Amino acid sequence: MSRVVTAADGAGFVITWSTLYIDDENPSVLKIKDSTEIKFAATDNPALFKQVSAPDLWTGKAHYWARIDGDTLNVTGLVLDADGTYDVTHYARTVQGDAQRVEFTRFKDGQLQRVVTGTLERKAE
């Protein structure tokens, strides 16, 4: 199960996505397996956003950017390792009323590793 939260942050935004799981000992409790929060700042192009405090390349840490295309927010992450290998992840999130269509694609050194699609529904907290 996944949770995605997008919130305005000045001229940019913050996106947090988490992988959730059900606690085996208490099935009524959801726990967070992992969570990623990325802050984006506006650029001169109103459809493009850059990661705030992006890591240097070649560090093995993800460098993100975002692009808005109509109702779809595209977030791309690039990891460059010191040995020259690379990993690209791409998330496309399209809002459709109270639902959000999510498409995830991952490539490692040009080879497709995974494609996942699904729909997240807005829930009151």
Q: What is the pLDDT of residues 14-70, one digit of tens each?
A: 988 777 667 778 777 776 677 788 999 999 999 999 999 988 888 889 999 999 999
Q: Give 26-95 as a 3 state SS string.
A: CCCCEEEEEEEEEEEEECCCCCEEEECCCCCCCCCCCEEEEEEECCEEEEEEEEECCCCCEEEEEEEEEE
| Residue 83: DSSP 8-state | T
Residue spans of the domains in the chain: they are: 2-121
One-letter amino acid identity for 21? Y
The whole-model pTM stands at 0.79
Q: In the Cβ-directed half-sphere of 31, how many Cα atoms lie within 13 Å? A: 7
One-letter amino acid identity for 51? Q
One-letter amino acid identity for 23? D
Q: What is the pLDDT of residues 76-117, one digit of tens each?
A: 999 999 898 999 999 999 988 888 898 999 999 999 999 989
Which CATH number applies to 2-121? 2.40.128
